[in-house]
């Protein structure tokens, strides 16, 4: 009879425990959890605070009793594992309620201790009375009861990642005036800047104060004043610190298990640490980036669940290889959905991997059926092979399925040339006969197959400033809502009449609203002997950042 011990009883740990039992009815399975709850819904916590989820009980996906009896598990809550003794294959466990310590042996050990919010030593942080972080049910209870009882009027959210923005929305829902302070030039790091810019505008529309390129310098007057590095002073009665998480690696480090540069426990493709009887999964481990093979930390629920099942399979000799993490993720930010998969341009630039991008702006479903709304969809790929590196989408509807389709395409080894050929479900309330993913595929295929040349939103101003010719092929009325300084307006339908006015000895740049008429204009000009580049994503992508 095998004795398998699990440290951590939430996403990864609980999944592993259930799978282990299904594989072996006779194993002894012990799961230690230092908190009171197991298998709770971390991802739902912001929505309970915002009161979209009204019933606290709904957050508790499994209780100790129900899980222990269904899977015949020895689940010990309030039990913190404080030491691993590799020679003896044993653990020291501390009962956090009584402080009593005891030893427990194992044949195989699975570590799924997660990651904890980073709390940097900002001056005044110790004295900030209403400063919170959000990771678990007790944190949630503290935040909720503070809001219910103290009725704060103003909140500062430090950090504009997905937890920070979900909380900004939920705090706003609870009637607070919210300021988000973010050190980077953009929120939502998995997006590239021009995609995040859509969210910046939306946050402002919703009345959120957004301080970018700024960090907290100090908390003053018991945390009722937040002083930023740029010198802004914000009076507040609630602070949420959400600047990221750090892997819980102390146990592993002390036991001599290898950890990576960013602190993640290192494992092989079978999720084994450098001790073959000790496995590690979830937020605590360093994974391989699925696209570029580099070490990465991706604290998300899908990897934790997938690894939880794989680790159990591997303990039973199934050799399930974890191939890396793509980082597919999604978040609701007020009326918008933001979703990404794979690598963005920032990552590829950092790694020196050359790439091409297209931006398209299709509608979520047939434009003539009520309720359609635009999706800004960006595809990042290799110009020669068509390999899909990643995708980002921001919109009000239908964002989730488009990113999921592309995530599936990546895992299936499809290239951008395959995307037009995906036969996707269509009726007017759901999509168009050319789905947004097909559209992105067509545009990208034009680049890979036909050598279509594009210019990016970030390059065009400089080109025009240096005397480049830019033709805006939209109708004059459309330019009333804005145009690129220096552009000459020649509507696409009259372009053939103006060919003699255009130079043949230099590259001509064209732009339209979203890139489609620009493409038509590009073809007309090329067929007439001009050298042409189309502004990718048109005015719409360009205007996102202003």
Q: Does 249 bind ligand FAD (CB under 6 A)?
A: no
Question: Smallest distance from the beta carbon of 45 to ligand FAD, in angstroms?
Answer: 4
Under the binding rule (CB under 6 A), the answer on residue 32 touching ligand FAD is yes
Rg value, the chain, Cα: 27
Helix, coil or strand: residue 456? coil
Contacts with ligand FAD: how many residues (CB under 6 A)? 33
Stretches 4-12, 118-126, 197-205, 393-401: which one binds ligand FAD (CB under 6 A)? 4-12
User: Min. distance of Cβ 18 from ligand FAD in angstroms?
Assistant: 13
Spacing of C-alpha 276 from chain mean position: 32
Strand order in the sheet with 388-395: 329-333, 336-342, 388-395, 375-381, 356-360
Active site residues: 43
Kindly state whether residue 8 participates in binding ligand FAD, applying the rule CB under 6 A. yes
Which of 454, 411, 443 has the alpha carbon at shortest distance from 323?
A: 411
Pattern 152-191, ligand FAD, x by CB under 6 A: -----------x----------------------------
Report if residue 114 touches ligand FAD, rule: CB under 6 A.
Answer: yes
Question: C-alpha dihedral over 312, 316, 318, 322, to 10 degrees?
Answer: 30
Identify whether the C-beta of residue 304 lies closer than 8 Å to the C-beta of residue 9.
Answer: no
**Measured from the CB of residue 224, what is the shortest distance to ligand FAD in angstroms?**
25
Q: Which of 282, 327, 436, 538 binds ligand FAD (CB under 6 A)?
A: 282
Q: Is 80 in the site for ligand FAD (CB under 6 A)?
A: yes
- Two structure tokens written together for 115: 């990651």
User: Residue 240 Cβ, how far from ligand FAD at the closest point, in Å?
Assistant: 10
Of the candidate residues 4, 73, 81, 137, the single one contacting ligand FAD (CB under 6 A): 81
- Applying CB under 6 A, the span of 49-57, 133-141, 399-407, 445-453 interacting with ligand FAD comes to 133-141
Which window, 2-10, 255-263, 385-393, 520-528, contacts ligand FAD (CB under 6 A)?
A: 2-10
Among 157, 300, 376, 399, the residue binding ligand FAD under the rule CB under 6 A is 300
240 binds ligand FAD (CB under 6 A): no
Q: Residue 361: how many CB atoms within 10 A of its CB?
A: 21
CB of residue 271 to ligand FAD, shortest distance in Å: 12
* Beta carbons within 10 angstroms of residue 425's beta carbon: 8
Distance CA 214, CA 218 (A): 12
Question: Does residue 27 touch ligand FAD according to CB under 6 A?
Answer: no
Contacting range for ligand FAD; rule: CB under 6 A; set: 276-284, 344-352, 390-398, 400-408: 276-284
| Sign of torsion over alpha carbons 408, 410, 411, 412 | positive
Q: State the residue for tokens 């006015």.
A: 501
Maximum Cα–Cα distance across the chain: 89
Q: Which residue has the tokens 């913190």?
A: 80
> CB within 8 A of 237, min separation 6: which ones?
130, 150, 152, 153, 154, 155, 224
* Owner of token pair 């009161």: 51
Write down the least CB distance from residue 241 to ligand FAD, Å: 12
In sequence order, the 6+-apart residues with CB closer than 8 A to the CB of 372 are: 363, 364, 365, 366, 397
Pick the binder of ligand FAD from 301, 479, 499, 524 (CB under 6 A).
301
Strands 90-95, 79-85: pairing is antiparallel
Is residue 265 involved in binding ligand FAD (CB under 6 A)? no
| Distance separating alpha carbons of residues 494 and 19, to the nearest angstrom | 66
Q: How many residues does the chain have?
A: 546
299 binds ligand FAD (CB under 6 A): yes
Q: Which stretch binds ligand FAD (CB under 6 A): 41-49, 148-156, 219-227, 439-447?
A: 41-49
Of 374, 455, 399, 449, nearest in space to 419 by CA: 449
The answer for 166, left when phi > 0, alpha when psi is -120 to 50, beta otherwise, is alpha
Residue 134 engages ligand FAD in binding (rule: CB under 6 A): yes
Comparing CB distances to ligand FAD, the nearer of 17 and 508 is 17
Binder of ligand FAD out of 49, 109, 171, 251 (CB under 6 A): 251
248 lies in the binding site for ligand FAD (CB under 6 A): yes
- Strand ordering across the sheet containing 278-280: 74-76, 28-32, 3-7, 108-111, 278-280
Q: How far is the CB of 139 from ligand FAD (least distance, A)?
A: 8
* 29 versus 444: smaller Cβ distance to ligand FAD: 29
Of 182 and 356, the one with the shorter C-beta distance to ligand FAD is: 182
**Which two structure tokens, joined as six digits, stand for 144?**
């909720």
Beta bridge partners of 535: 455
**CB 117 to ligand FAD: min, Å:** 8
C-alpha 529/C-alpha 2 separation (Å) is 75
Q: Which span (34-42, 119-127, 466-474, 524-532) binds ligand FAD, by CB under 6 A?
A: 34-42
Look at the block and give the residue holding tokens 């957050």. 59
> Which is closer to ligand FAD, CB of 17 or CB of 460?
17
Q: Helix, strand, or coil here: 420?
A: helix
Q: How far is the CB of 92 from ligand FAD (least distance, A)?
A: 10
Is position 538 an interface residue for ligand FAD (rule: CB under 6 A)? no
Which 322-361 residues touch ligand FAD, going by CB under 6 A? none
Chain residues that interact with ligand FAD, rule: CB under 6 A: 7-8, 10-13, 32-35, 42-43, 45-46, 80-81, 112-114, 134-136, 163, 248, 251, 282-284, 299-302, 304
């Amino acid at each position: 009879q095998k004795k398998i011990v699990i440290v951590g009883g939430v996403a990864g740990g609980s999944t592993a425990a259930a799978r282990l039992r299904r594989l072996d009815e006779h194993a002894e399975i012990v799961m230690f959890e230092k908190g009171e709850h197991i298998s709770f819904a971390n991802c739902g916590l912001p929505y309970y605070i915002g009161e979209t989820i009204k019933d606290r009980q709904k957050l508790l996906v499994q209780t100790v009793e129900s899980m222990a009896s269904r899977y015949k598990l020895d689940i010990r809550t309030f039990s913190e594992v404080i030491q691993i003794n590799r020679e003896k294959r044993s653990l020291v466990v501390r009962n956090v309620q009584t402080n009593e310590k005891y030893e427990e042996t194992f044949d195989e050990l699975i570590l799924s201790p997660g990651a904890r919010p980073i709390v940097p030593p900002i001056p005044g942080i110790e004295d900030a009375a209403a400063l919170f972080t959000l990771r678990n049910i007790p944190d949630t209870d503290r935040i909720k009861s503070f809001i219910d009882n103290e009725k704060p009027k103003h909140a500062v959210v430090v950090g504009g990642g997905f937890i920070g923005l979900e909380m900004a929305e939920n705090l706003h829902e609870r009637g607070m005036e919210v300021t988000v302070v973010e050190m980077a030039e953009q929120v939502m790091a998995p997006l590239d800047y021009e995609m995040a810019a859509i969210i910046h505008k939306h946050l402002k529309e919703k009345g959120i104060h957004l301080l970018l390129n700024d960090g907290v310098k100090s908390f003053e007057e018991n945390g009722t004043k937040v002083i930023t590095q740029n010198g802004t002073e914000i009076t507040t009665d609630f602070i949420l610190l959400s600047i990221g998480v750090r892997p819980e690696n102390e146990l592993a480090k002390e036991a001599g298990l290898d950890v990576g540069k960013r602190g993640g426990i290192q494992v092989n493709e079978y999720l084994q640490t450098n001790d073959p009887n000790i496995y590690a999964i979830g937020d605590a481990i360093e994974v391989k980036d699925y696209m570029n093979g580099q070490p990465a930390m991706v604290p998300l629920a899908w990897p934790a669940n997938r690894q939880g099942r794989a680790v159990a399979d591997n303990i039973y000799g199934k050799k399930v290889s974890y191939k890396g993490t793509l980082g597919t993720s999604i978040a609701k930010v007020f009326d918008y959905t933001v979703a990404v998969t794979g690598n963005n341009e920032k990552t590829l630039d950092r790694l020196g991997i050359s790439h091409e991008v297209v931006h398209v702006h299709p509608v979520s479903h047939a434009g003539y059926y009520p309720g359609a709304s635009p999706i800004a969809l960006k595809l990042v790929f290799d110009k020669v092979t068509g390999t899909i590196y990643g995708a980002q989408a921001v919109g009000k509807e239908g964002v989730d399925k488009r990113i999921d389709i592309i995530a599936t395409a990546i895992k299936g080894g499809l290239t951008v040339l395959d995307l037009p050929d995906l036969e996707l479900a269509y009726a007017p309330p759901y999509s168009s006969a050319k789905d947004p993913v097909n559209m992105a595929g067509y545009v990208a295929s034009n680049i890979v197959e036909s050598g279509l040349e594009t210019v990016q939103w970030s390059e065009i101003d400089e080109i025009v400033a240096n005397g480049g010719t830019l033709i805006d092929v939209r109708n004059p009325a459309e330019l009333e809502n804005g145009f690129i300084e220096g552009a000459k307006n020649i509507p696409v339908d009259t372009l053939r009449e103006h060919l003699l006015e255009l130079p043949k000895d230099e590259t001509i740049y064209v732009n339209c609203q979203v890139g489609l008429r620009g493409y038509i204009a590009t073809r007309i000009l090329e067929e007439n002997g001009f050298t042409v580049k189309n502004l990718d994503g048109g005015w719409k992508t360009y205007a996102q950042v202003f």
